[in-house]
Structure 1
């Protein structure tokens, strides 16, 4: 299992947090998602077929910008 950590701009409230989490949960291979509004971070544990590129696209589709 891989784990990836993102610093994200645009997690402005619990509604956005829920949208990000739900979007990531739909990706095959994603095992665990943690979104922290206060710190502006997203942590994802995943296996194949999920990839970091697909995860990043999913976060960005929710109106957020990945900073790292």
Structure 2
């Protein structure tokens, strides 16, 4: 398994480079970016204490990465 972690200082830039890279997974805390990328990215994880109302079928939600991956 190959894993790359990338960071971006602006939300516009983050959305743009995620689309260009076409990853299988994208993890984000911004609901607007999750919404914008839903049709382009195979799987997304929205990290938020509040479950989004307009989540697409390919968008999973979790209050934290630890809870999503089942911390021990």
TM-score, normalised via structure 1 length: 0.28
More relative contact order in 1 or in 2 (CA 8 Å, sep 6+)?
A: 1
Which structure would you say has the larger Rg?
Answer: 2
TM-score, normalised via structure 2 length: 0.27
